């Protein structure tokens, strides 16, 4: 599921950065410069070697480090065989009012399997964390590995009209760990010292899977999600959806030894996932590598109760410095159903294709960029008539529907008034099967005010919304056979989406002020 975009993103592999771009730059701000060389490199995992697309030959790619208030300049040069008509582009943006863990990645589905990396934004100088200062910190980037060429895996799925085959392994910092063949040297390890505290910046860069993560013998204290501070709470495991980030504190307070960190998918629907466990090693200083690590007790792969309980503990810090600005008055209420239909496909081997939809509409990607069409008023690219609710109400999570599963297709968007407050309820449906869905809102954070299992009840469920300290995120998971309600203020033109046609876009109208209109494209932006 593709995540995050800035308005000035260019089409070189469509790099997307979760950062706020503003015009002004504080006088004391630093300029952080990075060179990203997109290049093909031969990499071996699980006894299989293959060429993969990388940034600077690294898998995962390099970490972007910045501080709140900095200017970041990233020059991207493409040495790979993809998009060779465009060789170079420079991203130039300011980090304003943000701190925490985010990430960057390629936008094309199969490239995102290897082209991604962390973004670490520190607070302004002199501004402490609102939790105990860690002694050290480490990035933990969760990903996937396919033995076969991922582009070919995607093409094969398209021929069959089905989703691509699941990965052959999950990875921790690009390495699957010693539970997989040929992986003793492909294991990430971090050394810790007795009595010290470590901040783990955990990123789920996997394409599709929600993942459990735990450290054997050690509790974790959650202090941040999606670069927003939370009320701290202690847990033995976390759940993290694709595109989400979670920061945790881990105290090295156990008997010196070697302890596995482990990640495994959560799936409580009858769908195929790569259910093997990726591992890394937390190793106390002075302990020899001959000591066998201890495995953590991860939740069962279908542990719905743990997933719901964990997500219910997430709360915004909501302090005077970091308030939860929850919209209490709602200007626009939207209700979107999520479905998986079947449409004719003459080029597919079985004549049909699985088609995801919102409100029974499968999104069709245009040949002209939506922001480009919006800014230059290019007609015929999209229509602004996406419905606020599904065309036909039904028992969304009742018995599986197996007939009349066709969807309509189009590039249909929803027009939203500038600075209006929006409540969006995302409802899973039992079209063929229920399943969980991660959703990301480009250009915004939102407040997750409610979630539940079954059909959303507009008469009863809003009374149970958390309007005081709900978690603030940029990516949220809709539970299997359930619903999630979010609220946000529409003060930035961008779009909500995920994959397989399961996407739409909001056209946010311009405001009256000079800083309330869509920015013009950069003069050096290559045509889309």
Question: What phi and psi values does residue 370 have, to the nearest 5 degrees?
Answer: -65, -45
Looking at the structure of the chain, the number of domains it has is: 2
In this structure, is residue 96 part of a structural domain? yes
In this structure, is residue 66 part of a structural domain? yes
User: 340 and 299, same structural domain?
Assistant: no
What is the structure's pLDDT at 441?
Answer: 86
User: 195 and 71, same structural domain?
Assistant: yes
Query: Three-state DSSP class for 306?
Result: helix
Q: Which of 247, 238, 228, 202 is nearest to 310 (CA)?
A: 238
What lies within 8 Å, CB to CB, of 526 at 6+ separation is 10, 11, 12, 86, 89
User: 237 and 340, same structural domain?
Assistant: no
What is the structure's pLDDT at 20?
Answer: 35
User: 435 and 393, same structural domain?
Assistant: yes
What one-character-per-residue DSSP string does 348-401 give?
A: STTSEEEEEEETTEEE---SS-HHHHHHTT-TTS-BS---SS-SS---TTSSPB
Q: Write down which residue in 313, 343, 358 finishes a domain.
A: 313
What is the structure's pLDDT at 476?
Answer: 94
In this structure, is residue 348 part of a structural domain? yes
In this structure, is residue 11 part of a structural domain? no
User: 340 and 274, same structural domain?
Assistant: no
User: 245 and 203, same structural domain?
Assistant: yes
- Quick check: 243 and 210 in contact, CB under 8 A? no
User: 225 and 136, same structural domain?
Assistant: yes
User: 300 and 237, same structural domain?
Assistant: yes
Q: Looking at the DSSP assignment, which residues form a beta bridge with residue 222? A: 233, 248
User: 185 and 42, same structural domain?
Assistant: yes
User: 336 and 308, same structural domain?
Assistant: no
Range of the domain at 296: 31-313
Q: Which of 168, 142, 166, 144 is nearest to 154 (CA)?
A: 166
In this structure, is residue 498 part of a structural domain? yes
Q: Write down which residue in 313, 341, 362 finishes a domain.
A: 313
DSSP 159: H
CATH of the domain at 144: 2.60.40.420
In this structure, is residue 414 part of a structural domain? yes
User: 434 and 387, same structural domain?
Assistant: yes
Which residues in the chain show pLDDT less than 50? 1-25, 27, 84-85, 497-500
In this structure, is residue 322 part of a structural domain? no
Q: Write down which residue in 260, 278, 313 finishes a domain.
A: 313
Distances in Å between the alpha carbon of 262 and those of 112, 163, 210, 215, 243? 22, 26, 13, 7, 18
User: 352 and 423, same structural domain?
Assistant: yes
């Amino acid at each position: 599921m593709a995540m995050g975009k800035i308005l000035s993103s260019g089409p070189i592999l469509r790099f997307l950065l979760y950062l706020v771009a503003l015009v002004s730059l504080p006088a004391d701000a630093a300029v952080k410069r990075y060179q990203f060389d997109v290049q093909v490199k031969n990499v071996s995992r699980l006894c299989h070697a293959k060429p993969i697309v990388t940034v600077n030959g690294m898998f995962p790619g390099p970490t972007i480090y910045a501080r709140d208030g900095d200017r970041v300049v990233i020059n991207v040069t493409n040495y790979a065989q993809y998009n060779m008509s465009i060789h170079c582009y420079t991203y130039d943006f300011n980090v304003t009012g943000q701190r925490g863990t985010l990430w960057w990645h390629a936008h094309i589905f199969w490239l995102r399997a290897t082209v991604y990396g962390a973004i670490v934004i520190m607070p302004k100088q002199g501004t402490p964390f609102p939790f105990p200062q860690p002694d050290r910190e480490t990035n933990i980037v969760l990903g996937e590995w396919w033995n076969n060429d991922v582009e070919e895996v995607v093409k094969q799925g398209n021929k069959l009209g089905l989703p691509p085959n699941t990965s052959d392994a999950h990875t921790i910092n690009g390495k699957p760990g010693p539970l997989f063949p040929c992986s003793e040297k492909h294991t990430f390890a971090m050394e810790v010292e007795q009595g010290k505290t470590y901040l783990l910046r955990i990123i789920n860069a996997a394409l599709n899977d929600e993942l459990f993560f735990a450290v054997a013998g050690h509790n974790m204290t959650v202090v941040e999600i999606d670069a927003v501070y939370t009320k701290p709470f202690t847990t033995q495991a976390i759940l993290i959806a694709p595109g989400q980030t979670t920061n945790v504190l881990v105290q090295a307070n156990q008997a010196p030894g070697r302890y596995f960190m482990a990640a495994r998918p959560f799936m409580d629907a009858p769908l195929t996932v790569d259910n093997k466990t990726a591992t890394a090693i937390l190793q106390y200083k002075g302990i020899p590598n001959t000591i066998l690590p201890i495995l953590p007790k991860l939740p069962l792969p279908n542990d719905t109760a743990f997933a719901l309980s964990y997500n219910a503990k997430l709360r915004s810090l909501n302090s005077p410095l970091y308030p939860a600005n929850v919209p209490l008055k709602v200007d626009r209420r939207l209700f979107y159903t999520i479905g998986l239909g079947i449409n004719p496909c003459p080029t597919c081997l079985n004549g049909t294709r699985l088609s995801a939809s919102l409100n029974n509409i499968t999104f069709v990607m245009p040949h002209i960029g939506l922001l480009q069409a919006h800014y230059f008023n290019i007609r015929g690219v999209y229509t602004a008539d996406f419905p606020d609710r599904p065309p036909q109400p039904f028992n969304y999570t009742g018995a599986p529907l197996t007939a009349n599963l066709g969807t309509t297709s189009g590039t249909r968007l929803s027009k939203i008034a500038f600075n209006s407050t929006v409540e969006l309820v995302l409802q899973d449906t039992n079209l063929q099967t229920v399943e969980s869905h991660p959703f990301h809102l480009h250009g915004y954070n939102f407040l997750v005010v409610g979630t539940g299992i079954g059909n959303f009840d507009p008469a009863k469920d809003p009374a149970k919304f958390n309007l005081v300290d709900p978690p603030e995120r940029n990516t949220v998971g809709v539970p299997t056979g359930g619903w999630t309600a979010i609220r946000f203020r529409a003060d930035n033109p961008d779009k909500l989406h995920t994959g397989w046609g399961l996407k739409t876009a909001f056209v946010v109208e311009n405001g009256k002020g000079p800083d309330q209109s869509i920015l013009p494209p950069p003069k050096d932006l290559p045509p889309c």
